[in-house]
Chain A
């Protein structure tokens, strides 16, 4: 027998500590006391994300979202909501605040996320075309083929205000229009699925969860610009995404949605998959096109832009996965619908891969204009293990760090550049107080240096030099002069590099020097690493007052650097210690200290 109401009490750690358990108990008791125990099930759930508004109670099927609930509210929730069917208004979440960036009707008021790109991910079986079709799939293609002219489609994209989601944010309608206007018998449509930023997996998840949306969008583009062949350039490291794309293409061909004479319209279009070998620079569009032609993936000077002269010298529209996934919705629901979401500068939503020291890591899609604070605290649930927030890196190795003073900036293409980072493709890595900013900058620099194609000197030599200096600083040999050198090399790379990879490589260094200069100075002047990350700058020692001589650390030490008798104070031999930190993890008495 199913219940009439389900009362969900958030059982996440943050809500637990604010007495969610007592609320749960009180609700159970009130159900009994008021005689509805048989009609209501009270359940503890996982974290809702809105930890700052906790404890949270949600009642189904009405979907009422109550915040900051106290144990003594249980009585009223049962007597008013459950028995009389009236929502307890004073506890409801404020409906207005989350509608700021998405002025459309169909948004749940308490949710900060809004899913256009990921609309089908988690709903449909990606290997079954029928489920995509049932959810308005290929309806945009119908419109594009039978009801709209090429000019209409471009006008719709212009109204929508869609900008490229690969990072640069170039208006999509302009790209398409350039290609459309060039007279040429052969044109191409390319999907850039060469997602390579550390910590980014938005495109992989989109292709794995909803491959048809990209196929449909590319076909619409083909019709708009007059192209009959498309390529999806995807990294070979994404086997499941490739597998599902292949299934989707096969099913679409069988249904006559891809191939010759699509839906009897007389229009031909087909798509092929090309596998990338994993070079990060091939995510740069001109390098990608070189690689597609079978050449070594190296960026080319622009202009000419690919839209005019791209693959094999032909006009080529190249967009990234997320941009493509927006297109069918814009055509189906109209540019004016899309236009209502986001900010003046950036329309629609953005998908972020929220990772790092965050409680609820995940794939997050929010309207443009949502603040970083909302993403990190309302969606991500705040910093894991109650540590202190330090910074967030957006744009991966091409972006910069953003500190708490900028957390309330509404994110869009322009605002992120103004605060010294960039949108990038959507990686968002959260750091806490245990992360060393110099070490993080070194990590990104190492990545970019490895991935530099070597064609132009500023990137090839500049990146290596930055890396060497950072290494020097983290081992305690840095000088104050090094800080100036880092900045001057960085500025030169920004101006002199051929492509975005070299131009953005110095960003993690420059932005971290700007925001965390004192941490660089600690490494250089005091020869210390405040977060205890840089091994050469730290020593482990045992506090004689706390050590009880249990021998646990000595037994775990991999290099036998710890000596001491049972029930006697232990000592670490600094000449042997490799600073792995195992002793600190092992000690139950907090006797191992870091300096």
Chain B
């Protein structure tokens, strides 16, 4: 994109905000967000990312985007990931390895059930969302 003016920046913000709220990024309504800070990567986030991509391909699921983010702060349960599926609560899973990744795809993405024993709590409310991220 070329250099923006003030108006163009504002327009872009509105548009991207809308996309993030509708969670409709490039036609995909669900998201898997993987914590890829140095901490997450050291704990094995890269093989987990590969496992998610492989499992989604294997099951022919194409409405889920896989993206990365920074550290969520839960060092003791890295690698951590977030799963966002319409109609279900946003969930953070910790201590995720390749096997758990496959389980999350089968059980959470396809079966619409939460995966036991791996759920953790986002440590704080979101100050950017107007409702505190509730």
Which A residues lie at the B interface, using CB under 8 A? 1-3, 6, 8, 11, 41, 43-49, 58, 60-61, 63, 104-108, 111, 113-116, 118-128, 130-131, 133-139, 142, 146, 201, 204-205, 208-210, 238, 240-241, 254-257, 259, 261, 263-265, 329, 355, 359-365, 379
Return A377 CB to nearest CB of chain B, in Å: 15
A205 touches which of B70, B115, B134 (Cβ 8 Å): B70
Contact B124 A255 (CB under 8 A): no
Q: Which residue on chain B has the smallest CB distance to residue A111? A: B124
CA distance A113 to B121 in the complex (A): 12
Contact A122 B70 (CB under 8 A): yes
Contact B112 A46 (CB under 8 A): no
Return B128 CB to nearest CB of chain A, in Å: 5
CA distance A363 to B72 in the complex (A): 8
Contact B4 A43 (CB under 8 A): no
Contact B70 A131 (CB under 8 A): no
Return B79 CB to nearest CB of chain A, in Å: 12
CA distance A110 to B25 in the complex (A): 32
Chain A residues with CB under 8 A of B6: 142, 146, 263-265
Max chain B C-beta neighbours (<10 A), residue from A43, A46, A138? A46
CA distance A257 to B9 in the complex (A): 9
Contact A256 B3 (CB under 8 A): yes
Contact A107 B132 (CB under 8 A): yes
B44 contacts chain A at the CB level, 8 A cutoff: no
B71 touches which of A125, A208, A355, A361 (Cβ 8 Å): A208
Q: How large is the interface on B (under 10, 10 to 19, 20 to 34, 35 or more residues)?
A: 35 or more
Return B116 CB to nearest CB of chain A, in Å: 5
Q: Which 3 A/B pairs are nearest by Cβ-Cβ distance? A: A209-B70, A256-B3, A122-B72
Which B residues lie at the A interface, using CB under 8 A? 1-6, 9-10, 12-13, 16-17, 19-20, 33, 35, 37-39, 41, 67-77, 80, 82, 85, 87-89, 94-95, 112-134
Subset of 11 A-B contacts with CB under 8 Å: A43-B115, A46-B95, A104-B127, A108-B125, A115-B124, A120-B70, A123-B128, A134-B13, A238-B38, A240-B37, A364-B73
Contact A363 B134 (CB under 8 A): no
Contact A43 B3 (CB under 8 A): no
Using known A-B contacts A63-B134, A111-B124, determine if residue A121 contacts B71 with beta carbons closer than 8 Å. Answer: yes
Return B81 CB to nearest CB of chain A, in Å: 10
Return B96 CB to nearest CB of chain A, in Å: 11
Contact A122 B112 (CB under 8 A): no
Using known A-B contacts A113-B124, A255-B9, determine if residue A122 contacts B73 with beta carbons closer than 8 Å. Answer: yes
B69 touches which of A45, A115, A123, A363 (Cβ 8 Å): A123
Contact B127 A119 (CB under 8 A): yes
A126 touches which of B69, B121, B127 (Cβ 8 Å): B69
Chain A residues with CB under 8 A of B95: 46
Contact A106 B75 (CB under 8 A): no
Using known A-B contacts A106-B127, A121-B73, A364-B73, determine if residue A254 contacts B5 with beta carbons closer than 8 Å. Answer: no
